[in-house]
């Protein structure tokens, strides 16, 4: 019997960046009607492979072929090979309509200067139906939620009727309903005979969707096995090279002193009447759907936005919009927007790590004379606490780190002085299973040592596993606060969707 050539075949592909090997002799295939999961620690080389398949990066050696035909040479060539890529960070134009975004490549094609809007709508409508979108082709992208934007990304990829499609963490920071929708689309694509390469850190999704798992470590393929042969523990240890502790670290009871007190907080727009306290040593989870106002509450507390109402830290009122005072009061903020606010992409990684506490690396202290020896010692210690994988060393630019490792820098920089109150907005987005376990341990240890923690995360399991209490936002208000014993997936969803407690 003659086997048809696989839809995607990666053969002995290697790629280095400035002498650092990102991918080393990687080979695997994806056949039509098959979902292959590509997994591995942060920095293992998954995105590099994705970009080589997608044609935006050229391998140093080896080759990629599609249904037996070698990829045409040149950036962007994969589009013509029937492969589409759905990226993690959306690349949509916010001011254009959904239809314009879906068909943008065709609009830009030479010789297509005029396009009739009616035609645009008619072409976009069927792909929107295919992804189960509850909005029309004329919606403006800016008005859509993160989950809806992800659907537009997928519709855009499907518009070219690809034979193969690469998904890069398509469900990161989406809510449960949206996740379910995306997984349904992947299952349908497979049933339609499309070849799917699915990059993800979510092991439940991998177990449900994929037939085969390709595990990468340090740029190489360390396993290529049927999904059914691997249980969670086996997969984790293949990815990180060691056994991980299962479950969440045990919490210590909070103390009696209040660290943060929030009364009638509002942002003058969406959020109003939010009141809660966080005690010393307490982890307070803030749950809610995307757009419910969680991030606005966090940003107002850290002085990144003005507020109405009263915020007290350690019994002292905070002035509106005064970030410096917040840092001086011992607060830390781990942003959800790491690329714009979290680290310097074009400065050495070391500088992003030492920026929060420059005074302590000056000799004599607080003089403004940076002592590079102290800075090196301090930043190396921080990097090892968060298990940073920086193959080019801490002198390399922040932009050279993989996504997950950038997130570790954003968190690690605050650990230099134990913050009294630490606010985390989606701290584990894009983070691998090993690093997640490390971050959970760090947070629980910080709380045990007396830090108060405000934790925002779309990963319900994480909020339930780590929080002493869970506040649930709905439509700009705090719909309820649940004790650890009452907080379950069901009770949180009920409050988050406007139901009674
Ligand atoms: N443009 C670049 N310049 C220098 N080094 C790079 C560049 N792109 C990637 N690397 C390095 O190549 C290695 C592989 O990175 P890659 O982004 O492929 O990892 P990944 O598996 O996708 O990680 P993550 O799960 O964090 O997204 C990393 O060590 C990374 O620092």
What is the CA(14)–ligand 1 centre distance, in A?
13
Question: Which residue has its alpha carbon closest to ligand 1 atom 5?
Answer: 400
Looking at residue 115, its pLDDT comes to 64
Which of 6-15, 68-77, 409-418 ranks highest by mean pLDDT?
A: 6-15
DSSP H/E element including 425: strand 421-425
User: What pLDDT is attached to residue 408?
Assistant: 86
What average pLDDT score do residues 471-496 get?
A: 93
pLDDT at 355: 77
**Using the 8-state DSSP alphabet, how is residue 5 labeled?**
P
Higher local confidence (pLDDT), 247 or 395: 395
Task: Kindly tell me if the per-residue pLDDT of 114 is higher than 80.
Answer: no
Could you give the CA distance from residue 352 to residue 406 in angstroms, rounded to a whole number? 10
391 alpha carbon – ligand 1 mean position (Å): 9
The Å distance, Cα 76 to ligand 1 centre, comes to: 20
- Mutate which of 14, 37, 43, 200 for ligand 1? The one with the most ligand atoms within 8 Å of its CB, which is 43
Which SS3 state, helix, strand or coil, does residue 266 take?
strand
Using the atom order of ligand 1, give the atom closest to the CA of residue 405. 26
Whether pLDDT at 47 is above 80: yes
How far apart, in whole angstroms, are the C-alpha atoms of residue 395 and residue 385? 18
**Residues 329-343 pLDDT 10s:** 888 888 776 666 678
Q: Which of 21, 45, 221, 432 to mutate to test the pocket of ligand 1 (most atoms within 8 A of CB)?
A: 45
CA of 405 to the centre of ligand 1 (A): 9
| Ligand 1 atom, smallest distance to 49 CA | 18
Residue nearest atom 13 of ligand 1, based on CA coordinates: 22
Residue 322: how many CB atoms within 10 A of its CB? 13
pLDDT of residue 364: 64
Return the pLDDT at 339: 66
pLDDT digit string, tens, across residues 212-230: 999 999 899 999 999 999 9
Q: What is the percentage of the chain residues whose pLDDT exceeds 70?
A: 91
Ligand 1 atom nearest 48 alpha carbon: 18
Specify the pTM: 0.79
What whole-number distance in Å separates Cα of residue 239 and Cα of residue 41? 6
| Centroid of ligand 1 to alpha carbon of 309 (angstroms) | 44
Shortest-distance atom of ligand 1 to CA 396: 4
Report pLDDT for 404.
79
Dihedral sign for Cα atoms in the order 220, 57, 171, 437: positive
**pLDDT single digits (tens) 417-471:** 778 999 998 888 878 888 888 889 889 999 999 999 999 988 888 999 999 999 9
Which residue's alpha carbon is nearest to atom 8 within ligand 1?
Answer: 400
Q: How large a percentage of the chain has pLDDT more than 90?
A: 41
Q: 406 falls in which pLDDT band (50, 70, 90)? A: confident
Selection from 23-27, 103-107, 178-182 with the highest mean pLDDT: 23-27
Q: Please give the distance, rounded to the nearest whole angstrom, from the Cα atom of residue 431 to the centre of ligand 1.
A: 13
Report CA(259)–ligand 1 centroid distance (Å): 39
* Closest ligand 1 atom, residue 23 Cα: 14
Counting every residue, how long is the chain?
501
Residues facing residue 421 across a β-bridge: 331, 452
31: confidence class by pLDDT, cuts 50, 70, 90: very high
Cα 235 from chain centroid (whole Å): 20
How much is the pLDDT for 2?
59
Nearest residue (by CA) to ligand 1, atom 6, is 400
Separation of 42 CA from ligand 1 center, angstroms? Answer: 8
Q: What is the pLDDT of residue 361?
A: 63
Ligand 1 atom nearest residue 20's Cα: 5
SS (H, E, C) 51-115: HHHHCCCCCCEEEEEECCEECCCCCCHHHHHCEEEECCCCCCCCCCEHHHHHCHHHHHCCCCCCC
Which ligand 1 atom minimizes the distance to the CA of 391?
29
* Structure tokens given for 243: 């056994």
Q: Residue with the nearest Cα to atom 10 of ligand 1?
A: 400
Distance 22 CA to ligand 1 centre (A): 6
- The pLDDT confidence band at residue 473, using thresholds 50, 70 and 90, is very high
Average pLDDT over residues 228-241: 88
What's the pLDDT score for residue 474? 93
How many alpha carbons lie under 13 Å from residue 45 in its C-beta half-sphere?
A: 28
Q: Which two tokens stand for residue 463?
A: 């909020």
Task: Indicate the pairing of strand 421-425 with strand 452-456.
Answer: parallel
Amino acid 246: pLDDT:
74
Atom of ligand 1 lying closest to residue 18 CA:
4
Mean pLDDT of 491-496: 91
Alpha-carbon Rg of the chain, whole angstroms? 24
Q: What residue owns the CA closest to ligand 1's atom 27? A: 403
Among candidate residues 328, 325, 267, the one with its CA nearest the CA of residue 298: 267
Average pLDDT value for residue range 44-67 = 93
| pLDDT of 78 over the 90 cut | no
pLDDT-wise least confident of 2-16, 30-44, 351-365, 429-443? 351-365
Report the separation in Å between the CA atom of 346 and the middle of ligand 1, taken as the mean of its atom positions: 15
Find the 390 Cα to ligand 1 centroid distance in Å: 9
Lining ligand 1 with CB less than 6 A are 17-18, 20, 22, 40, 42-48, 391, 400-405, 432
Residue 446 CA from chain centroid, whole number: 23
Atom of ligand 1 nearest to the CA of 41: 25
As a whole number, the mean pLDDT across the chain is 86
CA distance from start to end of the chain: 61
- Atom 25 of ligand 1, nearest CA residue: 42
ipTM for the complex? 0.95
C-alpha 4 – ligand 1 centre gap (Å) = 33
Nearest residue by C-alpha to atom 16 in ligand 1: 45
C-alpha dihedral (193, 215, 412, 300), degrees to nearest 10: 20
> What's the gap in Å between 289 CA and the centre of ligand 1?
31
The ligand 1 atom at the shortest distance from the C-alpha of residue 432 is 25
The predicted structure's pLDDT at residue 34: 97
More confident call, 345 vs 79:
345
Confidence at residue 76, expressed as pLDDT on a 0 to 100 scale: 47
Q: What are phi and psi of 481, to 5 degrees?
A: -125, 125
DSSP string, 157-191: HHHT--SEEEEESTTTT--HHHHHHHHHHHHHHHH
């Amino acid at each position: 019997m003659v086997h048809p050539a696989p839809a995607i075949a990666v053969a002995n592909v290697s790629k280095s960046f400035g002498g650092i090997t990102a991918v080393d002799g990687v080979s695997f295939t994806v056949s039509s009607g098959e979902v292959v999961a590509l997994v591995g620690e942060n920095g293992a080389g998954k995105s590099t492979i994705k970009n080589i398949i997608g044609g935006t990066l050229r391998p140093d050696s080896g080759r990629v072929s599609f249904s037996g035909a070698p990829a045409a040479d040149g950036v962007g060539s994969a589009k013509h090979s029937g492969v589409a890529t759905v990226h993690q960070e959306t690349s949509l134009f916010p001011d254009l309509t959904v239809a314009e975004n879906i068909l943008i490549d065709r609009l830009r094609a030479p010789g297509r200067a005029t396009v009739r809007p009616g035609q645009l709508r008619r072409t976009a409508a069927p792909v929107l139906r295919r992804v189960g979108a509850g909005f029309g082709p004329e919606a403006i992208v800016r008005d859509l939620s993160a989950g809806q934007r992800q659907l537009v990304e997928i519709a855009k990829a499907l518009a070219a009727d690809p034979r193969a499609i690469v998904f890069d963490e398509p469900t990161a920071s989406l809510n449960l309903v949206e996740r379910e929708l995306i997984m349904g689309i992947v299952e349908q694509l497979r049933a339609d005979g499309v070849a799917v390469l699915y990059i993800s850190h979510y092991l439940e999704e991998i177990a449900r969707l994929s037939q085969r798992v390709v595990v990468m470590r340090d740029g190489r393929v360390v396993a290529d096995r049927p999904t059914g042969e691997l249980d969670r523990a086996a997969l984790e240890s293949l990815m990180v090279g060691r056994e991980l502790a299962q479950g969440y670290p045990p919490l210590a009871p909070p103390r009696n002193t209040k660290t943060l007190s929030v009364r009638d907080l509002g942002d003058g727009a969406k959020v109003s009447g939010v009141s809660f306290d966080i005690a010393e040593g307490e982890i307070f989870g803030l749950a809610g759907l995307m757009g419910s106002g969680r991030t606005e509450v966090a940003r107002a507390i850290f002085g990144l936005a003005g507020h109405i109402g009263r915020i007290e830290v350690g019994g002292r009122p905070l002035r509106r919009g005064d970030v410096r005072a917040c840092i001086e009061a011992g607060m830390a903020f781990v942003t959800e927007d790491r690329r714009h606010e979290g680290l310097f992409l074009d400065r050495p990684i070391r500088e992003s790590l030492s920026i929060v506490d420059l005074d302590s690396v000056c000799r004599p202290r607080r003089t403004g004379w940076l002592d590079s020896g102290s800075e090196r010692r301090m930043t190396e210690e921080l990097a090892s606490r968060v298990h940073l994988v920086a193959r080019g060393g801490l002198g390399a630019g922040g932009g050279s780190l993989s996504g997950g490792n950038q997130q570790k820098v954003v968190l690690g920089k605050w650990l230099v002085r134990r913050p009294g109150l630490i606010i985390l907005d989606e701290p584990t987005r894009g983070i691998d299973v090993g690093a997640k376990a490390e971050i959970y341990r760090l947070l629980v240890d910080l709380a045990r040592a007396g830090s108060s923690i405000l934790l925002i995360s779309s990963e319900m399991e994480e909020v339930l596993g780590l929080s002493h209490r869970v506040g649930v936002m709905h439509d700009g208000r705090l719909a309820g606060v649940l004790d650890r014993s009452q907080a379950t997936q069901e009770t949180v969803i009920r409050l988050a969707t406007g139901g009674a407690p």
